[in-house]
Chains A and B, each alone.
Chain A
Amino acid sequence: MTYGRRAFLGGLAASAGSLALPRMTQAAPLANVKELGVLRVGLYSGNRPWSYEEGGKVLGIDADIARAVADSFGVKTDLALFPADEEVSDDLRNVVWRGGLLGFRKCDVMFHVPFDRDFAAKEDQVVILAPYYRESFGAACSSGLPECEGTPTEFRGRRLAAELDSIPDFYLIGSFGGILRPDVTHYTTGFEAVAAIKDGRADLAVATDAQIESALAKAPGGDAKRRKGPLPAMLSPGWDVGIAVDEKSRSLGFAIEEEMDAMMASGRMAEIFSAHGVTWRPANAVQV
């Protein structure tokens, strides 16, 4: 399998007007990381299955990928969990190119950044690359729920669950004339929303595929099932997930991308996902 994301990236950066050729030859940031012997990686806190803390350890798919990348460089990993700000633009500012106002040190790379042409065009301080997963939304239900494959209006009166301030949330409270609004309970994360089905607090949850798969596999409790069909009138068709480095750290970004390429080709990437109960799906941007 080959991944043509470099060609895609060229187009992406050129459209943002920031890919100056001399920059590409600057090897310093990668050399710095190797010299210092540490790769500092910014990861969202409370973002299971991607990155979260448990018993003082940083766990999750993104954490495992970051460790594997650092290993391949022969350096240590410094996993810096940070709280999500209002939008990813704010996160990029705090984590990748400026640092937090209160001393949060810039990271060499941030994981779990949307790989989206319009979004990248607006973010001229960073380079977004290495799309490594295709995310989209789905639903999960308690095992006995017959409406799981039905139209959402049939969910009326059921105990519905979603992550606060997310597309699944606004899908449930805003679509279909708002008739489902009184039935929705909000959770801090999508993982928790799905976990609520397994422990009997909810009948149906809308969440990302990764949240659904990981919670069905890993959250404690009884049986639950995944909705097979798509959700009608879902607001987002899904998006690719990548990484971001400072605009001045292209050399490092490309090196990470190459390593992640190799992990995808060798099956290592799929293994990492699988360990968290999630099926790895390659990003649309690399399926040429």
Chain B
Amino acid sequence: MKGRFKTFAAALVATCAITAIPANADNHAGPSMADLMNDANSHGDVLTYGMGPWQQRYSALNKINTQTVKRLVPVYSASLGGEKQRGQESQPIVYDGTIYVTGSYSRLFAFDAKTGEKKWEYNARLPDGIMPCCDVVNRGAAIHGDKIIFSTLDAHLVALNRETGKVIWNKEIGDYKAGYSATAAPIIVKDMVVVGNSGGEFGVVGAVQARNVDTGELVWNRPVIEGHMGTLNGKDNGITGKTNATWEGDLWKTGGGATWLGGTYDPGTNLLYFGTGNPAPWNSHLRPGDNLYTSSTVAIDADTGKIKWHYQTTPHDGWDFDGVNEFIPFDATMNGKKMQLGAKADRNGYFYVLDRTDGKFIGAHKFVMQTTWADGIGKDGRPNFTKDGRPGAPNGAEKGKVVFSSPSFLGGKNWMPMAYSRDTELFYIPSNDWGMDIWNEPIAYKKGAAYLGAGFTIKPIADDHIGALRAMDPKTGKIVWEYKNPAPLWGGVLTTGGNLVFTGTPEGYLKAFDAKTGQEVWKFQTGSGVVGSPVTWEDGGEQYVAVMSGWGGAVPLWGGEVAKTFKDISQGGSLWVFKLYNE
């Protein structure tokens, strides 16, 4: 107990020290590491994915507020052009009069922040043999000094000169021929670029890598499945977990756990928090045990790449409940005690609060309509699995028992990031209510040969909505308000000191809600579905809001009854920027 308070005090000092550093006056040199760590408190720019290392997606700016938001009008719309439209899941970066956005097909654009005029565009040259499973999206870039850095579908990290768009370095982070790819926004910590990996293919193993931001050289690598050796400065740095503790045979070697959504960072504990994907193979009956560290959050020491703690949200996953969702640090007083916490809204439908210093379970609450696979999370942090909630094992040529499962494999929440308001002390979770029939196939075909697969069909579970933006009180687990949307929500959330919550809808709207009541106070039709993450900043005394529009991502690729809600939505690809109309 004493130890925890000591850590807390140290973290507090560290945070204050960072806040005290003035913003870099010399813009030509570009943002420094201190600038990046201070991003949540600097209002003239947006330097990091999530607006600060904690990625709370909160800005104290309040010129745009529940009273003035009716005067919010577009300043410009900048098209990404070309035929390469599809899903635009990016979050803009704003620095020194320039907006940087990544686009579908691994492109990066620099626009004049005031006018929307294009400064330059970079198109990654991608091999045509990549067959991405879930659209050709990208979630954003990282900025540091003279560089703007993003990941590509062929699993490369590319650093460009932020003024010219010319390549400074380009490194492979995984072999795309073995199924690796990358779509997450990298984060920058201690002058290292930290990234996870994607891969839909069986055989991929999740890992987190840290690379020197100036050269792209690997500093450390940490595979997240037990049994794998990590490295630091080219030397072995310990095995993750204990080999064969929760996996039989050599299944850990190909155990899955892709870290495809990137992570968050807490300067106080110096820990990186990364979510890990579901285990392989699909049929859970073939891999008894918890299968660590899949469907988990792992806390990694930023200096050494060692795992300090782990917390598994879905032990022995059998429903495709990828645990990749963002773990967002926040501070709160609970039962009279000041706590260093973190929260995660998991695919499995539960919202978890943990002590971020040691991963200790604090509480978990349902944030979706229905969780059929478990009827709550026990005091020990393990789910109370529902009897018969798991799809059965195939029996010879017969498919395994079909079960109805909610949430569906696309999750109570998928990739789209939630936001935390320091004013209301609520989390705003973009969620979806949907279920699936799921079964283990006896025979399917892969590479033209027979194998055991899985089948599923996604179904709506409510008459009036699939998407739901929910305000969750992390202390009580109560849902304070909810907004229901006919089509699935698939975009990120922003909350502000103006008592506002912004998010987009597939129907094409960017919407603003009263952060306390959930009342819709503003909307604007962008012409295509909004699945990007909005941001806000101030320039010349005016507050701006920006978001990407362009329908796509994994949802349109899965049909069924859910597809009825978005079949008429047009694709697009443009950056929209708004400010208040002054009379």
Contact = CB atoms under 8 A, between A and B. Distances in A.
B130 A113 contact: no
B154 to A, nearest CB: 9
A185 B129 contact: no
Interface in B151-186: 153, 177, 179
Contacts of B461: none
Contacts of B285: 174
A100 B131 contact: yes
Judged by DSSP, the binding face of B is: loop
Contacts of B397: 235-236
Contacts of A182: 248-249
A60 to B, nearest CB: 12
A45 B202 CA distance: 16
Given A102-B130, A170-B286, 19 more contacts: A44-B447, A82-B129, A83-B179, A86-B200, A86-B202, A90-B131, A100-B130, A100-B131, A102-B132, A102-B136, A104-B129, A104-B131, A112-B448, A114-B450, A165-B451, A167-B443, A170-B283, A173-B249, A235-B396
A84 B286 contact: no
Contacts of A188: 203
Contacts of B129: 45, 81-83, 100, 104
* Residue with the highest number of chain A CB atoms closer than 10 Å, among B126, B249, B396: B249
Interface in B394-413: 394, 396-397
A102 B445 contact: no
A181 B452 contact: no
Given A170-B283, A188-B203, A119 B448 contact: no
Interface in B428-459: 442-453
* Residue of A85, A94, A116 with highest tally of chain B CB at under 10 A: A85
B250 interface: yes
A112 B447 CA distance: 8
Interface string A171-204: 0011000100111111010100000000000000
B229 interface: no
Contacts, number: 138
Contacts of B105: 102
B118 interface: no
Given A173-B251, A185-B250, A235-B396, A119 B445 contact: yes
Interface in A242-280: none
Contact of A170 (B177, B250, B451): B451
B15 interface: no
B445 A86 contact: no
Interface in B325-362: none
B448 A44 contact: yes
A174 B445 contact: no
Contacts of A104: 128-129, 131
Nearest to A50: B448
Nearest to A137: B450
Interface footprint category on A? 35 or more
Q: Which of A45, A100, A165 has the most CB of B within 10 A?
A: A165
B446 A88 contact: yes
Given A87-B446, A174-B393, A184 B250 contact: yes
A170 B452 contact: yes
Contacts of B280: 165
Contact of B248 (A45, A87, A181, A236): A181
A102 B451 contact: no
Contacts of A217: none
Interface string B117-136: 00000000011111111011
A83 B177 contact: yes
B253 interface: yes
Interface in A205-226: 208
Nearest to A88: B445
A241 interface: yes
Interface string A72-108: 0000000001111111101100100000111111000
Interface string A156-174: 0000000011110110011
B450 A103 contact: no
A142 interface: no
Interface in A34-61: 44-45, 47, 50
Which residue, of B396, B445, B453, has the highest number of chain A Cβ atoms within 10 A? B445
Contacts of B443: 167, 235-236
A135 B248 contact: no
A166 B449 contact: yes
A32 to B, nearest CB: 21
A170 B128 CA distance: 32
8 contacts: A45-B177, A83-B179, A85-B131, A119-B445, A170-B286, A182-B249, A186-B251, A239-B450
A233 interface: yes
B445 A181 contact: no
Contacts of A113: 448
B556 interface: no
B201 A86 contact: yes
A114 B444 CA distance: 10
B288 interface: yes
A281 to B, nearest CB: 15
